[in-house]
Structure 1
Amino acid sequence: MRFLYQTVIFLSALLLPITRFFNKKMRLFIDGRKQTFSILRQKTDRSQKYIWLHVASLGEYEQGLPVMEALKKRHPDYKIVLTFFSPSGYEIRKNNKIADITIYLPLDTKPNVKRFLDLVQPEMVFFIKYEFWPNYLNELKKRNIPTYLVAGIFRKDQLFFKGYGGFYRKALTAFHHFFVQNEVSNILLKSIGFENVTVHGDTRFDRVAEIVERVQPLDFIEKFKNNTATIVIGSSWIDDENIYLPYLNNSKNIKFIIAPHNIKEEDLNRLKQKINKKVVRYSNYNPDDLSTADVFIIDTIGILTQIYAYADIAYVGGAFRTGLHNILEPATYGAPVVIGPKYEKFQEANDLVSLGSCLVVNNIEELSNTFNELIKNTSLRKDLGSKNKNFVLKNKNATKIVMDFIEKNTQACKL
């Protein structure tokens, strides 16, 4: 397995540059990584102390953000190096204000790993949720750098728990402690000999709860809503459109706010052409048209979280595709949440579905029936929304658990 992994990584480093000519995302993936080491040489300072935090993409960034904020607050003398694997996360958050250096993670080849760690020389490392790169982890262990997994999720189908997964199990020994989201992950880790595990939940609860506390009103959304029942459709893909658009086009006395996952002009035009109601777009709306419009398309990034505050019902996209987007944001505002069927890999979705306050639909008919019931039954809507909000509030403080553990275990930590 070790030889196979090293071979695959070597071939990836060799062949991936070719893909940049055929795919914009891969072009960002390849070209962005070309800058990593030059950025580190320019920005790192050997007189400074660094903490390295790694995330896969945008969702993991949201989970890591409370940890970075807590580290900055408790240890302002440390600098944070934040790495992303995916362009979809990096391109949106590359100009964040919390990290001191934000870069792409170099591919997990042994030369890249040594070069990266030699430049950063982190005092401590945090991996968020499920990024496990064996060469990085093995080198961190060799250098005895305290390394933590935060908001971790493990599933029994992962290689760690297979008879032939010894190479990956060995990489896990780099972690000084695992902070995991659920008891299933705890049991799985203990089944392969790891006792250094704490079930702390999900740091995103801290993130969304904080957002609600400082949310600012959006006057243009108030004007659009105009005291009318409003369904907010967040982070939707074309698969979601195929499910909700028939309902939207046949609805009466309901307003819709749509924040698509992709905001390319061609995708936005295609969406608008499918809607037979009065549509306005955030980028060019006339304020005088807002109160009479039926559909508001949000063609920008960064305000969906605030918009959820105006949702009577929230539909969160991605679960008719491959990955559900963030349901905690609408949940924390006390909105009932509707999602598609592919949600099993998301602990918060499993929990809210079990509570009955996150409703799963499999097709157009089920979505229509669910929306109609929630629209006409105000008490049901409020009851489900209250369950969601209380669930978020109950599960806060995962970040505090992490930080308190680190503070108490100073021998495993250089802070």
Structure 2
Amino acid sequence: MLILYNFGIKIYYFFIFILKYFNKKAKLWFDGRVGIFDNIASKVDPTVKKIWFHFASLGEFEQGRPVLEEMRKIYPDKKILITFFSPSGYELRKNYAGADYIFYLPMDTASNARRFLKLVNPEIVIFTKYEFWYHYFRQLHQSNVPLYLISGIFRPNQPFFKWYGSFNRKILSFVSHFFVQDEGSKELLKAIGITNVTVSGDTRFDRVAENAAAPKRFELVERFCYNSKVFVGGSTWPPDEKLLAELVAKYSDWKFVFAPHEIKADKINALIGLLPANTTVKYSEIKNLTGRDDIDQAIRGRSVLIIDNIGMLSSLYQYGKVSYIGGGFGVGIHNTLEAAAFGIPVIFGPNFSKFLEAKALIANGGGFTISNSGELLEIMGKLQSEEFRSKAGNAAEFYVEKSKGATGTILKYIEGKV
């Protein structure tokens, strides 16, 4: 099986090499790893021990961020190193001030793992939620470097729990301790003989609660939303946007703020094409305007503000009365907790089965799933009632509040091992 794994790693690398000529993200992924060891060697002192955090992408970074930032406070003299697998994490957080070093993770080969760990010299290592790399995990285990998985979530259909999953189970055996989100994950691991597990919950709750307590303010958004009921659509995709366009046409007394998942010009223009004529204004069109009259003129009569940049969404929900989270008509919904933390109802599409928080929000009345325009219009009709809307929003916020604390549980266990 190891032979197949190594072969698969090489095939993946070759596939990205070809794809980089046609795909910007693939090019960033590939080019970011060119000369990576020389880059690391030029910046990192291998004689100094470090705390290494690895994140697959931006979502995992935000999930593990509370632990990282608390460890920075507890151990201010320790060097912190971050690696990312995906460009969507690295490119957006490569200048993050909370870490001393930020790199792409070299491909998982035996030689790369040995070379990387020799250069980095980690004292402890923390992976968040996903990504199980055989050679890195094995090398850490052989070097007696503690490896922790935080906010882990496991499901019965994963290879670890199948008859053919012995190789995958071997990877898990290299982890020093698992911090999982729920009892179900703990029981699944127990069934395959893994008992070094703590049910800590999900660190995302700590992160979104912290963000909701002190969100960034956006003066232009506030002026657009002024004294209106606001609907925020976050990380939307075209299938979501086709449905949301019906709401714009029906509810002229609402303002809509959309932050699409993809912000390329053609995607933004396609979204504008779905919406009623002369209802939209792009954030990029008003952000450089300096005169109040110019700004007021640009937003006058517009009911839809399209956020055509990255980095604002997590704080945009503060202006909303209702939220819709995209991705539910594709591979899966995006972050529902960011909206729930602000105490507003959360609507999302049908593909949410892998997301415990979505199921919990539905169960407590703070979240609503829809499969078509009729269902969206029906729930939006109910949310016109301030009483119904407030009850749902309170339920969403309560769920976030009662679920906080994973960061403290993790740090209590790790503290003293650094």
**TM-score range for the pair, normalised by the shorter chain length:** over 0.9
* 1:22 matches 2:48: no
Letter of the 1:401 partner, please give it: T
Q: Deviations over 1:213-243 (max 9, x none)?
A: 2224433222212322111001101121122
1:129 deviation in Å?
A: 0.2
SS at match of 2:383: helix
1:41 alignment counterpart: 41
Letter of the 1:27 partner, please give it: K
1:316 alignment counterpart: 325
1: CA distance, partners of 2:204 / 2:36: 28
1:2 deviation in Å?
A: 2.0
Contact 1:66/1:399 (8 A) holds in 2: yes
1:287 alignment counterpart: 295
Q: Deviations over 1:109-136 (max 9, x none)?
A: 1111111111111000001001111111
* 1:373 matches 2:382: yes
2:79 alignment counterpart: 79
Letter of the 2:193 partner, please give it: G
Letter of the 1:391 partner, please give it: Y
Q: Deviations over 1:342-377 (max 9, x none)?
A: 0111121121122121100000111111112102x1
TM-score normalised according to structure 2 size? 0.95
2:241 alignment counterpart: 241
2: CA distance, partners of 1:179 / 1:38: 34
- Unpaired runs of 5+ residues, structure 1, are none
Letter of the 2:105 partner, please give it: L
1:47 deviation in Å?
A: 4.0
2:279 alignment counterpart: 278
1:210 alignment counterpart: 210
Percent of matched pairs sharing the same residue: 44
> Which aligned pairs between 1:1-400 and structure 2 lie closer than 5 A?
1-276=1-276, 277-285=278-286, 286-288=294-296, 289-290=298-299, 292-375=301-384, 377-400=385-408
Letter of the 1:142 partner, please give it: Q
Contact 1:223/1:291 (8 A) holds in 2: no
Letter of the 1:395 partner, please give it: S
1:211 deviation in Å?
A: 1.1
1: CA distance, partners of 2:377 / 2:37: 52
Letter of the 2:312 partner, please give it: I
TM-score normalised according to structure 1 size? 0.95
Contact 1:49/1:77 (8 A) holds in 2: no
Distance 1:35 1:270, change over 3 A: farther
1:34 deviation in Å?
A: 1.2
Over aligned residue pairs, what C-alpha RMSD do you find? Answer: 1.4
1:185 deviation in Å?
A: 0.5
1:75 deviation in Å?
A: 0.7
2: CA distance, partners of 1:36 / 1:353: 45
Letter of the 1:318 partner, please give it: G
1:327 deviation in Å?
A: 0.8
2: CA distance, partners of 1:31 / 1:308: 35
1:323 deviation in Å?
A: 2.4
Distance 1:62 1:240, change over 3 A: same
1: CA distance, partners of 2:342 / 2:12: 43
Contact 2:48/2:121 (8 A) holds in 1: no
- Unpaired runs of 5+ residues, structure 2, are 287-293
SS at match of 2:335: coil
Letter of the 1:210 partner, please give it: E
1:291 deviation in Å?
A: 5.1
2: CA distance, partners of 1:125 / 1:309: 35
2: CA distance, partners of 1:378 / 1:391: 20
Letter of the 2:129 partner, please give it: K
1:142 deviation in Å?
A: 1.0
Greater shift after overlay, 272-281 or 331-340?
A: 272-281
SS at match of 2:50: strand
Distance 1:10 1:218, change over 3 A: closer
Contact 1:257/1:298 (8 A) holds in 2: yes
1:396 deviation in Å?
A: 1.2
Letter of the 2:360 partner, please give it: D
1:316 deviation in Å?
A: 0.7
Contact 2:45/2:119 (8 A) holds in 1: no
1:53 deviation in Å?
A: 0.8
Greater shift after overlay, 125-134 or 92-101?
A: 92-101
2: CA distance, partners of 1:179 / 1:370: 36
Letter of the 2:209 partner, please give it: A
Letter of the 1:394 partner, please give it: K
2:411 to 376, 396, 403: 403
Contact 1:226/1:291 (8 A) holds in 2: no
1:35 deviation in Å?
A: 4.1
Contact 1:225/1:291 (8 A) holds in 2: no
